[in-house]
Amino acid sequence: MIKVLIVDDSTFMRHWLVDVLANVEGIDVVGTAKNGLDALKKIQTLNPDVVTLDVEMPIMDGLQTLEQIMQVCPLPVIMLSSWTKEGATITLEAMEKGAFDFIPKPEFGEDLDSWKKQFIAKIRMACEANLHSLIKGQPQTPTLPEKIRVSHSEKEKTIVVIGTSTGGPRALEEVIGKLPAQFPAPVVVIQHMPPRFTGLLAERLNRLSTLPVKEAEQGEILQNGHVYIAPGGYHLQIEKKCGRLSSRLTLDPPLKGLRPAFDYLLQSLTNVTDYRKVVVFLTGMGSDGASSLVELKKTGPVYTIAEAKETAVIFGMPKAAIQTGYVDEVARLERIADLIHKKVCLGWT
């Protein structure tokens, strides 16, 4: 039985969340708390397995509460965020400080079944979280790899694509933050995240990286040494335009409930046969990207890296990729940027 503590300053929201989880098999709400101080006391007495934590609260807000939880009694924490820019910004900071995952608060008046299913799934998955990865704290200033002279022909063009979900913001900071300036390939990222949050994630990574990081836009030409994050709510395809790679955003139906989906991006790359591809699977729930990796491997040079279980917050996406038999290297998170850099610069020798 998964014991859950619900923390929210709104009496209505506390009661509503209790009702959502009532009679859900395998989940037991052991208590509620109205603010951070109340939550810290009840964690000690109720010993929950998972905490759901409101971002914006009086007395002690969600960020302060999260920091105390991760220092004193580390637990998987799911942040409940507002859709405001301030709420989304604080939520991303919470992810850096050890929150397991987040979910935007529901917009009442619409069909809530999908939200409820997602909320319950996150609680179940939280019990499988790698707590060691969550409590490491905010990543330190990354050390850039030594500069490697490009040894392969300029005609051997390369693109790097990264797929990630739960735990992704911190993992992306570790990987992208270590890639050097003037990196000789474009980097395209699929991070499972709602609209608005992906834009703020791009802004955050842009401040912390030597490479320019932005949300991908419709029809833009991809440049070497730039990082493009798929906007929440849109699929991202890569296509050729005048001999160069460009982005295409679509509202095609979600794949396995996901939009953007890594599978969708990888499928589009099967038509880009004159580029080498470095494909990276980082921490995340589910199996997004694994089935399309099999097809992509048949179309030309593809080098695949999967994050090791030891560092992944959730081993789902890397594990599914490994099980295809088409992963070339399994590596701890701190090694992945260096592996990408060497593969892009040294080529397939």
User: Would you please indicate which residues are annotated as catalytic (active-site) residues?
Assistant: 165, 192, 288
Q: Cβ–Cβ contacts within 10 Å for residue 150, how many? A: 13
Separation of alpha carbons 40 and 23, rounded Å:
26
In the structure encoding, which two tokens stand for residue 76, read together?
Answer: 């998987």
Element (H, E) at 272: none
Instruction: Retrieve residue 129's tokens.
Output: 């979280």
Q: Which residue has the tokens 């260096």?
A: 338
* Rg, the chain, Cα only: 20
Neighbours of 68 (CB within 10 A): 16
Helix (H) or strand (E) holding 88, with range, is helix 85-96
Residue pair 262/190 in contact by the 8 Å Cβ criterion: yes
**Which of 256, 225, 78 lies closest to 160 in space, CA to CA?**
225
- What SS3 string covers 97-164? CCCCEEEECCCECECCHHHHHHHHHHHHHHCCCCHHHHCCCCCCCCCCCCCCCCCCCCCCEEEEEEEE
> How far is residue 127 from each of residues 26, 150, 160, 165, 228, measured CA to CA in Å?
12, 44, 32, 16, 32
Contact between residue 341 and residue 179 where contact means Cβ atoms under 8 Å apart? yes
